[in-house]
Amino acid sequence: MARKKSPKTEQENAAVAEDVQGDVVGKITEETETIEIDLDSLDEPVAELIHQLGVERDEALGARQRALADYANFTRRATENESRARIEGRGNIIRALLPALDHFDLALQQDTDGLTVEKFLEGIRMVRGEMSRVLENQGVTEVRPEIGDEFDPNQHQAIMRQPTDEHPPGHVVMVMQAGYVQGDIVLRPASVAISAEVEPPAETNDGDDGTSETEAN
């Protein structure tokens, strides 16, 4: 019966691997030296061409590094400009709203003893007009459909359906809340009630002679 060989120890395996690695490194070094010797022994035109290719390679690597740096700077500047533009845009809207806030302050300073309902409503209309002008200057338009207008799902939001014979189904019969758009962007749809068909009255269980079954009995 053949005797089994004992497995190699970890130290032996490491030693073998180190020897193999040394042989590979030595072989690569010898080949590299051979290549260098071959390059030195080349004709002058070939050596000049190889030198020129090396210079062009270095220039390409440098151009790549500069391009990456320029792109990083561009990205940083674009982010900063976007953030600055957003802040300035909010600032413009806030500055436009300040006059409306001033009207509120003036209204709160009025003597309530001599304040009438008409003066109170006039102050509210003044403030609302000021805020409407601010929205108009920002390109915001109010969406307030007329009664009888056809329901537009792009700008209207149906809150309820109201059976009626006055308008065809799918038309506005009541406006609960105005909507607002900025260009082609709907900031808020108008909340409306739309018309629906009137359901016919339920049929009664009558007899053939027009009298109810109860009366017949």
Collapsing DSSP states into helix, strand and coil, what is residue 9?
Answer: coil
Q: Please indicate, yes or no, whether residues 120 and 167 belong to a single structural domain of this protein.
A: no
Q: What does the pLDDT look like over 28-45, one tens digit per residue?
A: 455 444 444 455 555 677
Confidence grade of residue 22 (pLDDT, cut at 50, 70, 90)? low
Residues 77 and 113 in one domain: yes
Q: Are residues 26 and 44 in the same domain?
A: yes
125 lies in some domain: yes
- Residue 4 located in a structural domain: no
Q: Are 170 and 128 in contact (CB under 8 A)?
A: no
Asked if residue 209 is part of any domain, the answer here is no
Judge if 118 and 154 occupy the same domain.
no
Of 89, 118, 138, the domain-final residue: 138
Mean pLDDT check: name the lowest of 128-137, 182-191, 203-212. Answer: 203-212
Q: Are residues 160 and 82 in the same domain?
A: no
**Each residue of 51-90: pLDDT tens digit?**
788 888 888 998 999 999 999 999 999 999 999 998 988 8
Domain shared by 26 and 133, yes or no: yes
Q: What is the pTM of this model?
A: 0.54
88 lies in the same domain as 46 = yes
Tell me the backbone φ, ψ of residue 185, rounded to 5 degrees: -100, 125
C-beta pairs of 102-108 under 8 Å, 24+ apart in sequence: 103/127, 103/130
Domain with residue 180: its CATH number is 2.30.22.10
Residue 148 has pLDDT above 90, yes or no: yes
Range of the domain at 105: 19-138
Give the total number of structural domains in the chain: 2
- pLDDT (mean) for 168-189: 94
Strand order in the sheet with 172-177: 156-163, 190-196, 172-177
Residue 5 lies in a domain: no
Same-domain status, 87 and 182: no
Per-residue pLDDT at 46 exceeds 70: yes
What order of strands is seen across the sheet that includes strand 185-188?
A: 140-143, 179-182, 185-188
Q: Are residues 123 and 153 in the same domain?
A: no
Distances (CA, A) of 192 to 155, 167, 180: 10, 14, 14
Identify the residue with better confidence: 135 or 214: 135
pLDDT at 25: 47
Q: Are residues 35 and 106 in the same domain?
A: yes
pLDDT single digits (tens) 80-118? 999 999 898 888 888 888 888 888 888 788 777 877 888
| Best CA proximity match to 197, nearest among 168, 175, 174, 177 | 168
